[in-house]
Chain A
Amino acid sequence: MVTLEGDHLVFRFPDVHEEAGLAVTFQRTLRIPDDDRQYPLPPGLGAFPLRHIDDYRSRLPKAWVERGGVLMPMHQAEAMWISFRGDYPMAVTVATGKVNAITGSPLTRGLHRRPQDYLVTPDQPWLDGFCVEKGVIRQFVAMPLGDGYSVEEQLSRTAEHGGLQLIVRPLKAAAYRRLRRKQGDISRRSADDGIWLCQMDMGLAPGGRMRQEVYEDPFESADWAPKHMSRCFITIVNTALWSPMTGETPPSVPPTASDYTKAGLPWFEYYNPGAVALPGSDKLAKVKSVKAMSESKGVSALPENQSVDVQRKTKILALRPRRVREGRR
């Protein structure tokens, strides 16, 4: 079951194990410069608000209501990362516009290991973007669906889905007990909807490059519970339409990477010495970043894109078992 608790999307599998829970938030952050340099991890600036899509069904396109899930507001060209919290191991498939963010292949329901198309929590506490190379991602950046920037449009050649999709599967209870023992702890829309949707529907496009590893699954295929799966469609709405749609004020515009760095605030690096990084996706490596795409269109889609020199980095070490902590600055 999936519940919305404040701005946390919580996946629970009480039929598998009472501890089988995963809380997901979508974190506001700096958009790192799209300049082909590699940046460390930017900070979290608080969670994006999430709302039940059913609460606003009379004001939304029919296609949105049919797919269910939640609404989330993002500014055009705003960046985001996904935070996963929960000690019980889960296999999480992340897709944008129904394109897998780790492999660049169309979203499917099953788990595939060659190439691995999912991440495993809690070893993977965050995902900041599309896995383009081993140890490198391109940041998730919101762009209007229909303008050609999103990964969905570049790889699927359609602007049909947009948004973000999560599919979560728990580890089997027997595998979890074993782990605890080991640890010593135990096609396009209708013409009527077209213009309206193009204005407010957002997809995720690849932004600047960042150092982040997506880790190999440390469990056996048979350890994952095949019959238990929960999924959620997160519809991303342009903040310009958030107020008329929900009656709420949208989040403010986050600071720029340049302003943040000039203020002497830290960036982050995550180390998990025991984990093995997946190779990146060839398909995703070939998609154009927002900056490259906008240059090919002869427009400027990214305001405030100047490079920054990161001076202050905080190292974050993965703790065993399954916790992260921030190191000293």
Chain B
Amino acid sequence: MASRRATRPPPPAGRPRSASQPRFGTYIRKVREHLRKTDARFSLRQVAQRIFVQPAYLSQVERGNVAPPSEATTRRLAQDLREDPDVLLALAGKISEDLQEVIRRRPKLLAELLRSLRTAPTHAILRVVREVRDGKW
């Protein structure tokens, strides 16, 4: 689907929260229904088709009757619904493969880092994210 719209950037400020199965379904249904109000392509059937799952399965996911889908399907769903994939994966109670790999490389150090950031405010966490260095120009 050709679109002028740029791929969705990460939100400037911090975003959610803990993950749970019904929450994932409720959230994606809310987002999909919101998009469907202005665009019929966001019907359950059409979204399911685009992310390569059966409509009945997507319906079950939205109702929280089955576990959230695989990482690959969740990523396709995030792209289709213009959502952040990391946020949807977190709501699904999953950690993406690339993040798992990051943790596996330095498990002790990263576990300590994450625990120490647990209650830190957003601006403090942002200081840990690597800044783009400005130089002379």
A residues at B contact (CB < 8 Å): 1-6, 8-10, 12, 14, 18-23, 25, 27, 41, 43-44, 46-47, 52-54, 65-70, 83, 85-86, 88, 98, 126, 161, 165, 230-233, 260, 265-266, 268, 314, 316, 325-326, 328
Q: Residue A86 contacts which of B5, B12, B136 (CB distance < 8 angstroms)?
A: B12
Let me know if B2 and A69 touch, CB within 8 A: no
Question: What 1/0 mask marks residues of chain B from 116 to 130 whose CB sits below 8 Å from any chain A CB?
Answer: 000000110011011
Q: Are A68 and B129 in contact (CB under 8 A)?
A: no
A325 to B9, CA, bound (A): 16
Determine whether the beta carbon of A10 is less than 8 Å from that of B10: yes
B contact set with A: CB distance below 8 Å: 2-13, 38-39, 122-123, 126-127, 129-137
Checking B6, B8, B13, B132 against A18 with a beta-carbon cut-off of 8 angstroms, the contacting residue is B13
Could you tell me if B126 and A14 are in contact, using CB atoms closer than 8 angstroms? yes
Kindly provide the distance from the CB of B15 to the nearest chain A CB, expressed in whole angstroms.
Answer: 12
Q: Is the CB of A25 within 8 A of B6?
A: yes
By DSSP majority rule, is chain A's interface helix, strand, loop, or mixed?
Answer: strand
From DSSP, what is the main secondary structure of chain B's interface residues? loop
Check A25/B7 contact, CB under 8 A, given A67-B136, A69-B135: yes
Cross-chain contact A52 with B2 (CB below 8 angstroms): no
Contacts of A98 in B (CB 8 A): 137
Contact (Cβ within 8 A) B130 A233: no
A12 touches B126 (CB 8 A): yes
User: Which of B5, B132, B136 makes the CB contact (< 8 A) with A70?
Assistant: B132
Cα-based distance from A2 to B131 in the complex (angstroms): 6
